[in-house]
């Protein structure tokens, strides 16, 4: 079973995406910001990180930079989600595997996750 770390500060979005991913057979852990996500990385060893771009404490760009800087985590795929245009996100961090513009469709989201994880 593939493990996904979902990093999202909006509780409703995090809950909905967690339930949907679990229904698809993924094991999902969540964190409300990048700092909490980094704290969880060692305990869960995710196959994929799905993160929001704009969050308090430590945003998606800073999280992505920290993941890419750590040899243990540098190869983990990152899906960056944001309502802002991709060009704005890429100016701060361009090391993500895929970008997902909010709002997105669930089939599009699940298709992207499936393609990245090879399921």
Q: What domains appear along the chain, each with residue ranges and CATH number? A: 3-117 (3.40.50.2300)
User: What is the tens place of the pLDDT at every residue in 79-103?
Assistant: 999 999 999 999 999 999 999 999 9
Give the C-alpha separation, 24 to 82, whole Å.
23
Q: Copy the structure tokens of residue 109.
A: 């989201």
Residue 119, pLDDT > 80, answer no
Give the C-alpha separation, 115 to 31, whole Å.
23
Give the C-alpha separation, 80 to 87, whole Å.
12
> Quick check: 4 and 50 in contact, CB under 8 A?
yes
User: What is the tens place of the pLDDT at every residue in 38-71?
Assistant: 999 989 999 999 999 999 999 999 999 999 999 9
């Amino acid at each position: 079973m593939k493990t996904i770390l979902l990093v999202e500060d909006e509780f409703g979005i995090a809950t909905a995406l967690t339930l949907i991913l679990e229904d698809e057979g993924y094991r999902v852990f969540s964190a409300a910001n990048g700092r909490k996500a980094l704290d969880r990385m060692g305990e869960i060893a995710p196959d994929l990180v799905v993160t929001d771009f704009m969050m308090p404490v430590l945003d998606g760009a800073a999280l992505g930079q920290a993941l890419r800087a750590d040899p243990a985590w540098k190869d983990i795929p990152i899906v960056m989600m944001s309502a802002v245009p991709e060009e704005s996100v890429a100016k701060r961090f361009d090391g993500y595997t895929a970008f997902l513009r909010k709002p997105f469709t669930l089939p599009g989201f699940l298709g992207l996750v499936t393609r990245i994880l090879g399921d």
